[in-house]
Structure 1
Amino acid sequence: MELPLLTDLYQFTMAYAYWRSGRHREPAEFELFFREPPFHGAFTVFCGLEESLSFLQKFRFSREDIEYLQSVMPSTVEKEFFVFLETVDSSEVTLMAVPEGEVVFPREPLMKVSGPLLVVQLLETTLLCLVNFASLVATNAAHFRLAAGSEKRLLELGVRRAQGPNGALSASKYSYVGGFDSTSNVLAGKLFGLPVAGTVAHSYVSSFSCLEEVQHKVLRRAGSEEEVDFLSLSQLWLGEVCQLLKIPQQSINLGELAAFVSYAIAFPLSFLVVVDTYNVLMSGIPSFCAVALALHQLGYKAVGVRLDSGDLARLSVEIRRMFRLCAERFVIPSFEGLTIAVSNNINEKSLKLLMQSENEINVIGVGTHLVTCSRQPSLGCVYKLVKVNDQPRMKLSEDQEKTTIPGSKAVYRLYDRSDQPLMDLLALEDEPPPEIGKEVKIYDLGNTETETVTPIRAEQLHRVFFKHGQLPDSQTLPSIGEIRAYAQRSVIGLSPQHRRLENPQQYRVGVTEKLYNLLSTLRKSSSFLQ
């Protein structure tokens, strides 16, 4: 999308006022940051950088854009301003940021955007739009990944519940970055190269009512031209399965069996069906086992089943027991390890409870509560002016949390002896970096308390990602798979106290003495407090 008009009107009224007063080319710097981690956690996964860079590369106004602006802005705006807008682009903009997928914390700049005052002002709303939701969804996905553990596969299936098509695409993309393994969203798979996955819905199963509705009944034996009456073969296996599982054959819903047979004929290499349309243990599972065993006899291997209702943990244990019985009785070891996938309006709380219960689940599908971020619908990133004409600027407020930190800043991540992040340190850009093995005096934001820390390692987080209208020559953007891997390392690299989902220890972000003194000086000199 071309996004220069995806912004608030007041950005253009301010731009005109800057231009009218002759200040539009003054060098300025803005910072993009958030004030609280989402979902009552301790961290946020930063995302949206790649799309922000794409936006900057294309940033300019078309003739149609300018004509529209003329129609909505006050008639007192001089025509020369619109002529000037035709020359506006990002050729003098520099963007520094932390890498996409990095874990970040309150009050520290995720992005630093510098350039002519008018231009960097116009970028505000769009950059916030590109970063806010992307980072929120990735963080939500990271929470689900932590709740599920590393062994379970996570499937995002929220496209039908997302906030419009763009929300669905962003949710699929950044859920993958945050730790999900695949998506049901086909368009997201095409656009972003995501792994896509899908099974079959209850509507397909309930569309069959009897065995006579299976019109194409034969399936070729794997690697052969021989055609076998697959419906009859599945019926034979059904008798064996019902006898083994001690299930009366009259409890089988024949429409369900017909649906499974038909689906297996269509997808003999990827047979995975939903088994809770009627009765899971008395019909769905024995019907699945019969069809899966028929597939095995013809040289194929079924994938597994999906549950979308009921006590997911208990049912998964019982289903695995039935799979083991079949594996032992019919001497098919692989049958024991068939996939058990679950879904059913799963949220972070229900997922944690599910994982605390005995279960045999392999795949978890999450939709609504992932893509809508129902626990917290917005991250709340802001974009604030910190410097104009090399002079620091700050916003003061009666609300202490809304006071900004002035000046262009560097962010350092300090590590302890176990090479885990100890805290993040904000310093003025012209300060020397912290020295390894030497004590650093740290000021906490919001009070006068100080402490000293001795970093074993220090990493500067910001990198130049955009300069002179383009990516630096040496800068190659990572693939989405590389961003996902980076995000996983970033989250796992935190201490367990900062990763935990309930009552986590809040990660510390402090400032240097020089930055603290600047903040104090500007506070005291402001007429706001006098």
Structure 2
Amino acid sequence: MFGGCRAHPLLTDLYQFTMAYGYWKCGREQDEAVFELFFRKNPLGGEFTVFAGLQDCLSFLSTFCFSQEGQSPRMGEGEFTTGSESEFIVVNVGFLRSVLPADVEPGFYSYLLNISASDVTLRAVPEGSVVFPQVALLELEGPLAILQILETPLLTLVNYASLVATNAARFRLAAGTDRRLLEIGLRRAQGPDGGLSASRYSYIGGFDGTSNVLAGKMYDIPLFGSLAHSYITSFTSMSEVKVQELATASGERPTADFPSLCREWLARVCCFLQVPEHQTNPSEFAAFVSYASGAPRNFVGLLDTYNVMRSGMPNFCAVALALNQLGYTARGLRLDSGDLGWQSLQIRRTLQSCADRFGVPSFSSVPIIISNDITVKDLIELQHKPNAVDSVGVGTHLVTCSSQTSLGCVYKLTQVNGKARIKLTEDKDKTTLPGKKRAYRLFGPDGSPFLDLLMQDTESVPRAGEEIRCHALHGGKGSLAVTASRVEPLHHIYYQHGQVTRDSPSAAEIKKFVQESLSDLPPQHKLLQEAVPYQVAVSAMLYALLCEFTEERVSQP
């Protein structure tokens, strides 16, 4: 099943159609072309990127077509649609007639009605791969006009997905392997589509769960939820707690009065903690009792509505211990303000003391969850000071990628009718690499990758154990001679002859692959600050072709 974030042919820039018309007008629409989708610089101040969005690209290609007004284009198996969405995605050639110049010949619209992606071949790195600048994420080969129309939708599907997955991977590195990461950014995301994409690609990048129910349904992502401050502040007293009886976890018998049991525990807890019971907030206590009675197997307390240690903690402990007496276990407690690391230590000590005092060993390990505009920097700092945090909820700075708004992927023509093409510009960083290429990852004796090599399509495949002459890109060491212990091709065919050629992994499988890819990468390239750039190089033959183009430019008057 493909991803649910879908583009359609009108989700593009107008100039894609004006260029396609230009190709068609001069009879070049069927010219055999090659385009590459890549990025020029790693995002977020790091030195690696996680590639994501491939399944959405395959879904788009599988359903790519135009229709007359009132006709629905083909729908891919497993796509999420509603009636209103089905009406929306009707790709109306009549609309194009209304926005393109009046002198566009009618034959162009007939041409659009008969095209699809069946003549397109898509090669790509596997989704979830760790990737680097200048190495194509996607390579597309097919008719020139069709590949031109595909540009903007493919960039839309890859740019945000890869940026969010990379951001999530950085959060995972900052948090360490043992701490749970929960994505809670739906309300802060860039609209419904952005929120759904963020949940999926945050999970792929290394998060453990999401609060987004639709994402949980569509992508089988574990769901997590607690309660908000509004629930707590909505209560004023115990008179608003309507549920009086609560069955034991085993279901053998009901308790006579759950609120009374909670009151008994509150008196015991306050006495033990030496907190005057009148200092605890009664509305907060009522909210906890009400929430626990409605969801005894999913009780999570939010402690900072009023005062964490004098009110939130005693109230939580009382209700959680009452649940424990009935055979239930509290799922956790959450902090959303203040010095989260210091408070977590205070809370853990209190939980341990209550566990010892009341003979409930499991109480000492109740998970502590923190939130409150958490950033990668916050998690790095948390790692370097004492704390007892088990889980972290991350929203705004994850889904909006606040430290960088776009990955900056580009889509460039590299070959037409078998002849290499290049973009030469005043900005050397924007000069493209000419020709159809193949990419290989070279591994050292320790099994770690050390260089990605770009070669012309006609060159022989590099072999392990043989010296390879190449030239480093972007501030490297110039001419290189390297020998690899293992060589792997980076690109595989994923779409050809109108068919997806490889099985689509689940989100959980891609997530696992991301972590495997990152674990293979040497530590110096994964540092969250001042990381060492990974080396990308071109073969001697490709370098010579590049020099040929650049020298031609210099020689021109």
TM-score tier, shorter chain, comes to: over 0.9
SS of the residue corresponding to residue 341 of structure 1 reads strand
Tell me the secondary structure at the aligned position of residue 286 of structure 2.
Answer: helix
Q: Identify the match of residue 403 of structure 2 among 375, 379, 394.
A: 375
Q: Does residue 160 of structure 2 align to residue 133 of structure 1?
A: yes
Equivalence for 2:453 = 425
Q: CA offsets per residue over residues 373-395 of structure 1, 9 Å max, x none?
A: 00000000000000000000000
Question: In the alignment, is the contact (CA less than 8 A) between 1:2 and 1:58 conserved in 2?
Answer: no
CA contact (8 A) 1:183 1:196 kept: yes
Offset of 1:19 from its aligned partner?
Answer: 0.6
The amino acid across from 1:153 in the alignment is: R
Query: Does 2:32 match 1:32?
Result: no
User: Conserved in 1, the CA contact under 8 Å of 2:436 and 2:456?
Assistant: yes
Q: Secondary structure at the match of 1:194?
A: coil
Is 2:487 aligned against 1:451?
Answer: no
Aligned to 2:174: 147
Which residue of the partner structure matches residue 145 of structure 2? 118
Does 2:377 align with 1:349? yes
| Deviation of the 1:208 alpha carbon | 1.1
Q: Distance in 2 between matches of 1:407 and 1:516?
A: 11
Displacement after TM superposition at 1:529 (Å): 5.3
SS at match of 1:476: coil
Q: Work out the CA distance in 2 between the residues paired with 1:267 and 1:389.
A: 65
SS of 2:123's equivalent? Answer: strand
1:494 aligns with 2:499: no
The residue type equivalent to 2:541 in the other structure is: K
> Residue type of the partner of 1:388?
V
Instruction: Specify the alignment match of 2:352 in structure 1.
Output: 324
SS of 1:219 mapped into structure 2: coil
Task: Give the distance between the partners of 1:361 and 1:439, measured in 2 at CA.
Answer: 50
2:164·2:205 contact (CA, 8 Å) conserved in 1? yes
SS of residue matched to 1:14: helix
Question: 63-72 or 319-328, which moves further after superposition?
Answer: 63-72
- Count of aligned pairs between the two proteins: 528
Measured after TM superposition, the shift of residue 82 of structure 1 is: 0.7
* 2:248 is the counterpart of 1:221: yes
Question: Does the CA contact (< 8 Å) of 1:416 and 1:456 recur in 2?
Answer: yes
List, as ranges, runs of 4+ consecutive aligned residues in structure 1 with deviation greater than 6 Å: none
**3-state SS of 1:28 partner:** strand
CA RMSD of aligned residues (A): 1.2
Say whether residues 1:358 and 2:386 are aligned partners.
yes
1:251 aligns with 2:279: yes
> Equivalent residue for 1:465?
494
Amino acid at match of 1:33: F
Choose the corresponding residue for 1:14, options 11, 16, 19: 19
- Once the 2 structures are TM-superposed, how far is the Cα of residue 225 of structure 1 from its aligned partner? 2.8
2:115 to 88, 93, 109: 88
The answer (yes or no) to whether the contact 2:159–2:407 under 8 Å persists in 1 is yes
Quickly say closer, same or farther: Cα 1:529–1:327, change in 2 above 3 A.
farther
Identity of aligned residues (%): 52
Question: Which amino acid in structure 1 is aligned with residue 122 of structure 2?
Answer: L
CA offsets per residue over residues 472-508 of structure 1, 9 Å max, x none? 2xx2111111111101111121111001100000011
Alignment of 1:157-176 (within 5 A): 157-176=184-203
List per-residue Cα deviations over 1:505-528 (Å, max 9, x = no partner): 001100100000000011112378
Q: Deviations over 1:113-167 (max 9, x none)?
A: 0001111111000000000000000000001000000000000000100111101
Q: 1:348: how far off?
A: 1.2
Match 1:47 to one of 49, 52, 75: 52
Work out whether 1:388 is the aligned partner of 2:416.
yes
Distance in structure 1 (CA, Å) of the matches to 2:42 and 2:311: 46
Distance 2:371 2:474 in 1: 44
SS in 1 for 2:297: coil
Relative to structure 1, is the Cα distance of residues 11 and 528 closer, same or farther in structure 2, using a 3 angstrom cutoff?
A: farther
Q: Which letter maps to 2:513?
A: Y
Query: TM-score by structure 2 length?
Result: 0.93
**How far apart in 1 are the matches of 2:189 and 2:555?**
44
Is 2:295 the partner of 1:264? Answer: no
Does the 8 Å CA contact 1:221/1:228 hold for their aligned counterparts? no
With normalisation by structure 1, the TM-score equals: 0.98
**CA distance in structure 2 between the aligned counterparts of 1:2 and 1:102, rounded to whole angstroms:** 23
* Contact 1:217/1:262 (<8 A) preserved: no
Q: 2-side partners of 1:366 and 1:2: how far apart?
A: 27
Structure 2, unaligned runs of 5 or more: 1-5, 70-91
- Kindly state the Cα deviation for residue 352 of structure 1 after the two structures are TM-superposed: 1.2
Q: Distance in 1 between matches of 2:183 and 2:555?
A: 49
Q: What are the Cα deviations for residues 208-263 of structure 1, in whole angstroms up to 9, with x where unaligned?
A: 11122212222112221333211111111111111221211111111111111111
Structure 1: distance between partners of 2:548 and 2:488: 28
Q: Is the CA contact (8 Å cut-off) linking 2:262 and 2:319 kept in structure 1? A: yes
Partner of 1:181: 208
